[in-house]
Amino acid sequence: MAAGLLALAACAPTVGPEPPQVQAQQAPITAEPLEPVAPVDRTVKVALLVPLTGNAAELGQGMLEAAQMALFDLGDDSFQLIPRDTKGTPGGASEAARDAIAEGAQLILGPLYSSSVGAVRPAVQGAGLGMISFSNNMSQAGSGAWTIGFSPDNQVRRVVSYARSQGIGRIGSLAPRDAYGDAVSTALNAAALDFGARVVRTERYDPAATDLSPAVQSLASGGPGSLDAVMLAEGGPKLRSVASLLPAFQIDPAQVRLLGTGMWDDPTLGSEPALVGGWYAAPDPAARRDFEQRFESIYGRRPPRLATLAYDAAALAAVLARNGGPAPFDMMALTNPNGFAGVDGIFRLRPDGLVDRGLAVMEVTPNGNRVIDPAPSSFQALGF
């Protein structure tokens, strides 16, 4: 098992030296028969709500298999995983949650989609349980529910912090006019304020637009030298398209650093020359390489990217169940300020339902993306 996964157990209480042995006195013999003691049921049940049928069945199956790997790696005989099919719908997720609660689940892992999180929340809160969902929609966090999906907030904060340390102070932004663009823009403004940078211009555009030239032209209206960096809240073909437009409007990527989010976590980005040299924040790919290789050796295929979320959530539950006593999933245990080390690096559940992650800063190169600032090994290293 990877050393990083073993670090999850570091949150268990430390066992001190054994006390000196004392000669025990023999108990007096009594004529009264001893009553038999009923065995204590130590079974800890944790539900996993993922889509096992419907359009996302392949993803859900991969997440289930990853959770089973975590159970094998870190669980003991008292830990029981209860998988339930959400069918990829809010109604299916609600039914799955009620069924798992009726079976005695003490913690809910999942569901995947934010709409399903909202549907599940009443039953979970009514039962007084915690829920670690795989959504990255931060509006669904809070009141005993956590969203451990890869949120743009962590990614933007990390890359802006690094950029500021490299002397970048004036940042522009291109973002779609949708929920993701809103999240990136909000995170950028907050990070710039915290780290002493300025967001000098933000351009939003219709996410359905095929020609982004007007938005790029408006962003460049300050003239050459007005920007130190540009945040591009896109991925895939549209990211390549908008990046290729920048030089035509005098935003030279050789002079203006391009910044991105986890949507840039694509080893082929370097095929677009304008993106070479760009920075983004993401989990260190080396940290999950062992997991991916083991998953493929067991199941004969590559894991879906989100499978690591299920592994880390199940591993966290298994470790707390093993070391947490009669209430392994209370708020204090789940929100340990030291956090936990998982396949995607260190992470920490906050009391407000959000999740802090320790991310690496990556640079796009023609031959793939490389780490230029390693992921931290503790939250003390991040200063919070």
What residues does each domain of the chain span? 41-150+286-353, 152-282+360-373
Looking at residue 41, what is its pLDDT?
55
Establish how many alpha carbons lie within 13 A of residue 152's alpha carbon, considering only the half-sphere containing its beta carbon. 25
Look up tokens 């979320």; give the residue: 309
Sequence letter at residue 343: V
CATH of domain 152-282+360-373: 3.40.50.2300
Inter-residue contact 370 to 280 (CB < 8 Å):
no
Looking at residue 54, what is its pLDDT?
95
Structure tokens at 282: 């993401």
Distance CA 10, CA 340 (A): 8
Looking at residue 272, what is its pLDDT?
96
State the first-to-last Cα distance of the chain, in angstroms, to the nearest integer.
29
Looking at residue 21, what is its pLDDT?
36
Distance of CA 341 to the CA centre of its chain: 12
Distance CA 65, CA 283 (A): 21
Looking at residue 371, what is its pLDDT?
97
- Whose CA is closest to 262, among 239, 241, 246, 243? 239
pLDDT by position in tens, the chain (length 384)? 333 343 443 333 333 333 333 333 333 333 334 344 444 457 899 999 999 999 999 999 999 999 999 999 999 999 999 999 999 999 999 999 999 999 999 999 999 999 999 999 999 999 999 999 999 998 999 999 999 999 999 999 999 999 999 999 999 999 999 999 999 999 999 999 999 999 999 999 999 999 999 999 999 998 889 999 999 999 999 999 999 999 999 999 999 999 999 999 999 999 999 999 999 999 999 888 999 999 999 999 999 999 999 999 999 999 999 987 788 999 999 999 999 999 999 999 999 999 999 999 999 999 999 999 999 999 876 555
- Whose CA is closest to 265, among 345, 189, 329? 345
Cis amide leading into 90 (omega within 30): no
Looking at residue 140, what is its pLDDT?
92
The CATH architecture assigned to 41-150+286-353 reads 3-Layer(aba) Sandwich (3.40)
- Whose CA is closest to 152, among 178, 124, 117? 178
